[in-house]
Structure 1
Amino acid sequence: MIVNRRHVLFTGVAAAATLGAGVATARLLGRPTVPVDMGDKPTLVSADMAELMQAGPLGENALGDPNAPVTIVEYASMTCSHCATFHNETYPALKEKYFDTGKVYFVFREFPLDPVATAAFMLARCVPESQYFTFVEALFKNQNLWAFTNDRIGGLTKMAKQAGLSQEKFEQCLTNQELLDGVNWVKTRGAETFDVNSTPTFFINGEIVRGALPLDQFEEKIDQLLPS
């Protein structure tokens, strides 16, 4: 079977357009994301920190001091509106007050809810490492311009170009099987090992917190864990 390099469909997400192709991209965009079956597994209340802090095959994207007294791990989806609300409204204040001051170590992990979110995470992994969080913040701030339009490919292409990715790099990124497998590894382990079943899901020193809490509730939980 010959794969046309210019023909890949965003099926399963109500959009169809051409994109630089390849088997990996076809696998990524050619079918909807399948939820992980949790079966009768009991609801998790807290996670073992040593196990939680095991990095995935692509490494971690994190801010702050790894030796900080408080660690927050977030599992998010780039197409999740609640995740966007957290990152647009609460995250900047947390970053300034806790991450940048060494009080909290923040780890951001991929939990894509659909193929478009997976593609966005892959693109974030392809920008220079120093620009990773800047690109993620831009994606959340402009979520309505690429995640919820009839031209998701065009929207992601524009966002990637603004981050310095050429069309060639864009296509290479979305045909990178290693990236796809790495993102899926993080999601699968989050679901199967840590009971992540929605986004955003946070772990604050191992305690699971589901949903985008307002700033004051985050501050209360963090302050209780900081040395007096």
Structure 2
Amino acid sequence: MAPTSSTSSKSSPSKSSSAPGKGRGLAIGAAVLVAALLLGVFSYTATKPGSGSGSDTGSASDTPAADVSADPQNGVYPELEKLARRDAKDPLAQGRADAPVVLVEYADFKCGFCGKFARDTEPGLVKKYVDNGTLRIEWRNFPIFGAESEAAARAAWAAGQQGRFWQFHEAAYAEGVKEKGFKDDRLNALAEQAGVADLDRFKKDLDSAAAKKAVGRDTEEAYKLGATSTPSFLINGRPLAGAQPAETFEQAIEQAAATASGKKDTGR
């Protein structure tokens, strides 16, 4: 029997054979892609919380975390560190651009386990590591549960254009919100709750080509890594799958920080 995991899973949709667009997100380097594909860094099995289907519903407490990727001693792949964008102007990131540790999260707003991480684990990581300059968190939209997931991803991006991404993120991941769905009226209400000042601009940005391109860039990056489930993480090139216990993230972050400090001291 396949192991259960604190992730929500869905098979990747078939994608067009057309060449990807330009930009670092889609052209992240042949070495990175080869490393990811050969190593299969996210080739774990994930199940729906509380059952064996690939739905986004259910409570994260229904199933234990998977053994795979839970051990912070798992492999670190230096080439994958290059996926950290470290753009100081990125509205979908928090923490210093030059922080020694970067946590990249691939997530979906309809994912129950992503919500568990956002509510139960991430705030503690921000307080303990982001606020003191150790950690940077970079969000990647990875909508795998259909049209509403896609719409929520574009809405989050649109909120970010007015500096309210993290406030939208908090509102969208509040307990019971995803069960209400992410139709247009709900997205508008969440934007207003998040303090988005110009709602007319928000609506235009949500449906813009730029929003679709940004979400597509993140999604393509995740699929190239072999990710089919959410949430999926990279911590300085170390893959971590699912809403693992806070201690797992803390150990991985502290080890990555120690490694980064050692490299700095030796001039590597």
TM-score (norm 2): 0.62
Q: Distance in 1 between matches of 2:215 and 2:86?
A: 12
Q: Distance in 2 between matches of 1:78 and 1:151?
A: 9
Structure 2, gaps ≥5 residues long: 1-10, 16-36, 42-74, 262-268
Aligned residues: 189
Q: Residue in 2 aligned with 1:112? A: 143
Question: Does the Cα contact within 8 Å between 1:75 and 1:108 map onto a contact in 2?
Answer: yes
2:180 match: secondary structure: coil
Structure 1, gaps ≥5 residues long: 1-32
Shift of 1:225: 2.4
2:143 match: secondary structure: coil
Aligned letter for 2:220? T
| 2:107 is the counterpart of 1:76 | yes
Question: Does the Cα contact within 8 Å between 1:47 and 1:208 map onto a contact in 2?
Answer: no
Aligned letter for 2:158? C
Shift of 1:129: 4.2
Aligned-residue identity in percent: 27
Listed as ranges, the matches of 1:1-228 within 5 Å are 35-36=13-14, 41-42=37-38, 43-44=40-41, 46=77, 48-49=79-80, 51-54=82-85, 59=90, 61-113=92-144, 114-127=146-159, 128-142=161-175, 144-145=176-177, 147-149=178-180, 152-162=183-193, 163-164=195-196, 168-192=200-224, 194-227=225-258
2:140 match: secondary structure: strand
TM-score (norm 1): 0.72
Q: CA RMSD in A?
A: 2.8
Shift of 1:164: 3.1
Q: Distance in 2 between matches of 1:60 and 1:35?
A: 28
Question: Does the Cα contact within 8 Å between 1:70 and 1:225 map onto a contact in 2?
Answer: yes
Q: Distance in 1 between matches of 2:239 and 2:12?
A: 23
Question: Does the Cα contact within 8 Å between 1:60 and 1:108 map onto a contact in 2?
Answer: no
Aligned letter for 2:203? E
